[in-house]
Amino acid sequence: MMLFQVTYTMLPGQRDAFLQMMRESGILDQIRREEGCLDYRYYLPEEEDGTLLLVERWTGPEAQKAHMATSHMARLGQVKAQYVAETSVVTWALD
């Protein structure tokens, strides 16, 4: 299993708009329905309104690699440019 902790530093005041867009666009649902996706959730740090935490769990590296190649991830990349200033990723391979 692969676990990803993705931290987004949002553009000022854009966190709620980004989350709303993710729900309304259907991208979030498409990701969660992908083969190999065990969990894909956003968390809101209470004291940091400019930060968004994403935790992803995948069955393995092949599933996550296939996820990154989907058309909805290409669309998400374009959308993130409007809302996200910086992204950092920490990855764990779990047995």
For the segment 43-72, what is each residue's pLDDT rounded down to a tens digit?
999 888 899 999 999 999 999 999 999 999
Render pLDDT for 7-47 as a digit per residue (tens, 0 to 9).
999 999 999 999 999 999 999 999 999 999 999 999 999 88
CB contact at 8 A, 1 and 94: yes
Q: Angle 51-53-58 (CA atoms, 0-180°, nearest 5)?
A: 160
Instruction: Indicate if the pLDDT at residue 94 is higher than 90.
Output: no
Q: What pLDDT score does 95 carry?
A: 73
15 CA to centre of own chain: 13
- Please report the pLDDT score of residue 43 as a whole number: 97
